[in-house]
Amino acid sequence: MGEYAIDLRRLRYFLVVAETLNVGDAAQRVGITQPGLSQQIRKLEDELGVELFRRNRRSLELTGSGMALIEPARRCIECAVEARRAAIAAADNVAGQIRVGQLAMATLSIFPLIVRLLTLRFPSIALNLSELTTIEQLNGIRSGDLDVAFIYAPPRDPALDHLVVNRERLLVAMPARHRLATRTAVPVAALAGEDFVMCDPAWEPMFDQLVVSACAGGGFNPNVTHRATGLATILGLVSTGVGVTLVPASARHMPRDGTTLRPLRPSPPQLELAMVWRRADAGEPSHIKLREVVHEVIGVHAHSANFERASPPRPPARDDRRHSLR
């Protein structure tokens, strides 16, 4: 059986090269040197006994054999991933129920990714989700009615522990025909004298305090004329023209006609979403798996965000060596 073995890593490399048809680009994506990638592709061709790519100085093309390998290679990778997940799940044998409280605004950011990945990795762990205010969640954690809470600005409590799962900036939401709507960024100080629509402090006190603090950074206190208990309602009021407000950047995922969102200059302190749990329950197997998933999602989320911000424009190729597999 060993004579038919194929290195899965080389299949992954092959798929990236087949997608990009550019070894330089593919090497950057898989994180190895261009000569190293070329060598791995050559070894895969030797293992299979066929040529997968047609090479010349200016281009790289898939051969018939290369085209035929794409779908089977993808299936092999998918099967390997699924096999690993099944083995891990069977070894862990973790089951149970986690009672989770979350803010309505949290469902617009990283929270759905956490729920999805936990469900995929550990289908025997059931999540009982409740949309609650910060005060309700903290009361639930302390009383034992909740196991985990997702809130803004967790309290300093020796009985509780927390992990910051997401940070997002504040944006100004204003009527679409507002005098500042044509700007690409709005100075915080330019909002002085505007009527504000804000959340009810009893609904989300930490968010209310952050908005007040952001306005103070611009040298004024917000003139609050309307209050509401939901982000959708707040944006709805803004769209009618009764005032402006500050919202998390994730509010871009719930666009509303008649409302324009713009970044603030200078950017106020970021809004931090944290997962909170009781220290006494930290050793529960299902809780451990939840935290593992959360750490993984945080890493992927942060890497994606940094990649989008940090990737510079690709310079034009100065020669044809980037295409060479030789």
Coil, strand, or helix at residue 164? strand
Is pTM beyond 0.95 here? no
Q: What is the pLDDT of residue 258?
A: 92
Residue 157's contacts (CB-CB under 8 Å, 6 or more residues apart) are none
Q: Where are the beta strands (DSSP E) in the chain?
A: 53-55, 60-62, 96-102, 125-131, 148-152, 160-168, 170-175, 186-187, 195-199, 223-228, 245-248, 259-265, 271-278
Residue 236's contacts (CB-CB under 8 Å, 6 or more residues apart) are 256
Give phi and psi for 63, each to the nearest 5: -80, 175
C-alpha closest to that of 154 among 169, 170, 165: 165
C-alpha closest to that of 235 among 171, 190, 184, 300: 171
C-alpha closest to that of 292 among 82, 219, 75, 300: 300
Residues in the chain with pLDDT values less than 70: 1-4, 85-86, 88-93, 301-326
Q: What is the pLDDT of residue 326?
A: 45
